Structure 1
């Protein structure tokens, strides 16, 4: 099979990871076009790719024009979150496979329409929850699948980060209900996705308390969620953009009757605790043989995620994180928002809710 031809739509903060992933999968992929409404940003990513590979890349400011003019197999979307559904659905309707950054959408309706469009058109839809590919996360998932924990009791996703006002001022769409949501939807969704993946993936109820404490944004800068899974286990989420003076940690902790695991590091990439009753492996050895932290909180997961999508296209199978999987973390967060709005626990599945339904809710504390 020939190399798959990629195009990137949205060339802001995260897009260099898309360039990196396409470059690292060079045997199977080539970047043919970049697109951003700010032409200089698209040019910058095209130049980045050329510096790595020596290959020229076409530059566009209109994604529809790009899709019309260029021979493209896969579109990757790294625009503001609120624009993801419209672009993804258009691209899929033109027969393009899609890799979309998290969150895939900001409403249940849009996420369902994206999943439906992928099914209808026969293309692949993948969502960038790249931390699922971290080596320690894969080890933890294997331990879950092998039932090494026994009965699952509880899990915790703790995101203790700092996002100061400069971060929000750099891109005024951040922290808005229309295009982003708050710290739960933007910063915490990766860890929430991992939590639900480990705890069984089927949620019964969600209860949340959130607030806007110190950041001058529409949405929350801190949120706490309690999740009851259908298998009886309980998930707890603590998500903050207010930790002084800088990022402290992002950890995932899973506890069962016969096991306890804590994974931390810069991007949930380092095992801190690994204890099992079965004694199959040594915590001391595992803690000793670990890789260094990645260069940023984005981690190294985009490269294997893109590889998984390439293989899914080649072998006509679903990507590991398809639309159905990509929706799960987002649905928990939307349920948390609905819970904050109503003051009540929210039963899943959630049939229709959007970040826009939070517009009139005063979160200021």
Structure 2
């Protein structure tokens, strides 16, 4: 199956992966490494200039295979974000509007974290912390140049 790319759509806005799901794309890179192959489809349910809904199957350099689905066409407000990781030593499932809830935790030799992930607004707690790091010039808290480029490369390979 060939990789689907529509360059015209990338120039205008970038689509749902660049605008709304970029954090999750970064998370995939951080957890699993570089992407080696990707296939997918996109659609425009709301007739935007770019795809508002995209599904991609990704193969990563460590052999991990996964699916990433993203949309901005949810009725009224942000509905749900989910991450399920199934590995040889455990399975976890996070959900919530910002992955702020542990739905399932079965990991060999690792207890479920006892943390309160309650958020006080739709964007979570991290943006405020990120701004503090910028003001305090804690640059080591941010990805290095190679990490940023790899994240961008991942989005380019799965964006439509």
1:333 aligns with 2:150: no
Deviation track 1:225-262 (CA, whole Å, cap 9, x = no partner) reads 11111111112101112233532201222121111112
1:206 is aligned to 38
| Structure 1: gaps (5+ residues) | 1-106, 108-175, 341-365
1:320 is aligned to 142
> Residues of 1 paired with 2:21 and 2:93: CA distance?
17
Using a 3 Å threshold, how does the CA distance of structure 1 residues 331 and 258 change in structure 2: closer, same or farther?
A: same
2:60 is aligned to 229
> Residues of 2 paired with 1:227 and 1:178: CA distance?
23
Contact 1:226/1:237 (8 A) holds in 2: yes
> Residues of 1 paired with 2:55 and 2:13: CA distance?
18
| Structure 2: gaps (5+ residues) | 1-6
More helix by share: 1
1:265 is aligned to 96
> Residues of 2 paired with 1:336 and 1:238: CA distance?
10
Q: TM-score, normalised by structure 1?
A: 0.38
In our comparison, the structure showing a higher alpha carbon Rg is 1
RMSD over equivalenced CA pairs, Å: 2.5
1:187 aligns with 2:12: no
Equivalent residues in 2 for 1:144-293 (5 A)? Answer: 177-199=10-32, 201-212=33-44, 214-278=45-109, 280-281=110-111, 283=112, 286=114, 289-293=115-119
Equivalent residue pairs, number: 152
> Residues of 2 paired with 1:267 and 1:219: CA distance?
24
Using a 3 Å threshold, how does the CA distance of structure 1 residues 263 and 294 change in structure 2: closer, same or farther?
A: farther
SS of aligned partner of 2:129: helix
> Residues of 1 paired with 2:63 and 2:55: CA distance?
19
> Residues of 1 paired with 2:99 and 2:91: CA distance?
16
> Residues of 2 paired with 1:244 and 1:311: CA distance?
39
> Residues of 2 paired with 1:323 and 1:306: CA distance?
19
> Residues of 2 paired with 1:299 and 1:245: CA distance?
19
1:302 aligns with 2:124: no
Q: TM-score, normalised by structure 2?
A: 0.79
Deviation track 1:7-55 (CA, whole Å, cap 9, x = no partner) reads xxxxxxxxxxxxxxxxxxxxxxxxxxxxxxxxxxxxxxxxxxxxxxxxx
> Residues of 1 paired with 2:30 and 2:157: CA distance?
17
SS of aligned partner of 2:150: helix
Deviation at 1:323, TM superposition (A): 3.5
Deviation at 1:211, TM superposition (A): 1.7
